Amino acid sequence: MKISFPTSLCRSRAGGNRASFVIGAALLLAALPGHAALNVLACEPEWAALAQELGGDKVKTSSATTALQDPHRVEARPSLIARTRNADLLICTGLELEVGWLPILLQQSGNAKIAPGQPGYLEAGTLVQRLEIPTRLDRSDGDVHPGGNPHIQGDPHNVARVAEALVKRLAEVDPGNAAFYQSRYKDFSARWTAATAKWEQQAAPLKGVAVVVHHKNMSYMLNWLNMREAGALEPKPGIEPSAAHLAELLAQLQRQPAKMVLRAAYQDDRASEWLSEHAKIPAVMLPFTVGGSDRAKDLFGLFDDTIARLLGAAK
């Protein structure tokens, strides 16, 4: 007996097969490495922002910390371990800034391709001329970094040096998009050079201005702008201000005045506000990194806002 199917049913099944094939092909293409964005994990927001500038839509970036977190002290949460496990490239400041938490992330993630020494790991702090390298190491001196001050992002010339190394590393990890990364770098470098010249011209009135800092994290910025550190709210790096130390600092400022007291967005404002009130100088919050203020949405906004806040306080 011959069995016949309705023509409409045959067309329906043929259409379904074609639809299944198209869907399957799309899923297969999406799964291919060449079509997947490169996962870049940064330890700090400034490096995530830099990777986004150079990588565009070829990268997916995230930061382990925010501008409202002390980068010295971060909790290795399960969600952060998962991001570390999936990273293709890890960029950190280094110089022991993340020594309290990064080794735990690397160990728990089991991601060998982003281990120190591998192409998937880039340490920004080793790429610049470091300041405040200690001549002795003693825990009684507070939170001292043997390799020098790690807060290198305060100088845009340092950002430029890291960008030069980062574009090469992106090309090494993802050679298929090397030309794209180089093109993005060329554009960024031109804009960054012009912006740096603008910031230096704007900041000329700040030369020689004395300031008090909360923590020793403004050194690269002060060095770049030829400003002078007149004291620190912390008696030793990493040690919170005490009433006795603040009184001593106030007496010092009466002999050698400063123009303002600076703190980063993540730092408690009570000590700087106290000194501001008693020394009659402005207390200035600086964004310190990308996301530290409404204006500091990217690297360019970070320095635009920083210079504007310093100039406003100097007047």
Superfamily holding 203-314 = Nitrogenase molybdenum iron protein domain (3.40.50.1980)
Tokens representing residue 105 in the block: 């992330």
Strands 59-63 and 89-92: unpaired
Taking a C-beta distance cutoff of 8 angstroms, is the pair 286, 262 a contact?
A: yes
* Amino acid, single-letter form, for residue 217: N
Strands 38-42 and 59-63: parallel
Could you list the mean pLDDT of each consecutive 10-residue stretch along the chain, which spans 315 residues?
44 46 42 70 98 98 96 92 97 96 96 97 97 72 73 98 98 98 98 98 98 95 98 90 95 96 97 97 98 98 98 95
CATH of 34-199, one of 3.20.20.370, 3.40.50.300, 3.40.50.1980, 3.40.30.10: 3.40.50.1980
What pLDDT, on a 0 to 100 scale, did the predictor assign at position 133?
Answer: 87
* Amino acid, single-letter form, for residue 87: A
What pLDDT, on a 0 to 100 scale, did the predictor assign at position 26?
Answer: 43
What pLDDT, on a 0 to 100 scale, did the predictor assign at position 25?
Answer: 43
34-199 and 203-314 agree in CATH topology: yes
Domain coordinates of the chain in residue numbers? 34-199, 203-314
What pLDDT, on a 0 to 100 scale, did the predictor assign at position 148?
Answer: 87
